[in-house]
Homo-oligomer: A and B are copies of this chain.
Amino acid sequence: MAARAPQAKRKTGAEGPRTKKIEPADVDVGLDGLAGHVGYAVRRFQLWIFQDFIKTLAAVDITPTQYSVLTVIAANPGPTQMAVAKRLGIERARLVHLLDALEQRNLVTRAASKTDRRSHALHLTGAGEASLRQFKLLAAEHERHVIDKIGKDNRERLLEILAPFR
């Protein structure tokens, strides 16, 4: 056995039919009870789709989360950090670091709100707006990859079904 795992004593008994090569346990675990579970399928799909997004936007070094933050700010300039966090379902603690990175890259500014000295008004910089336009082109290319994978009609059905989740 490998390394040092605690191991039950082997019963070195009957070997059964030996074919010398293929082990049925290894070759393919195949479809099973998981097939009927939505959560599992969704998890695998989400993994694939994020990997493709990251790969497609690798040249500009933008993650799906960063893209969503930029998009939300662009669509409705000047939001509070709280507003963005609530909209995207991420914690405000996490958004702090996300914005730190985006601010360092000069894509986003935290301006003092004119009406509430606690909060920051978030805006895209000029560079941020220009960059976002490029990001959107790449995101559209990613979306085309999705279509190649599941088909155009399936993609639209997916968007309909998942609409209640924003």
Contacts and interface: CB of A to CB of B under 8 A. Distances in A.
B165 A25 contact: no
Interface in A141-163: 142-143, 146, 149-150, 154-155, 157-159, 161-163
Most B Cβ at <10 Å: residue of A47, A76, A142, A149: A76
A94 to B, nearest CB: 14
A34 interface: yes
B166 A44 contact: yes
Interface of A: 1-2, 5, 7-8, 10, 15-16, 18, 23, 25-34, 36-50, 53, 64, 68, 71-72, 74-80, 82-84, 86-87, 89, 109-118, 120-121, 136, 139, 142-143, 146, 149-150, 154-155, 157-159, 161-166
Counted per complex, copies of this chain come to 2
Main secondary structure, interface of A, reads: helix
15 contacts: A1-B118, A5-B120, A7-B110, A8-B109, A10-B117, A26-B79, A29-B84, A30-B75, A32-B75, A37-B139, A38-B155, A39-B64, A44-B162, A48-B165, A150-B164
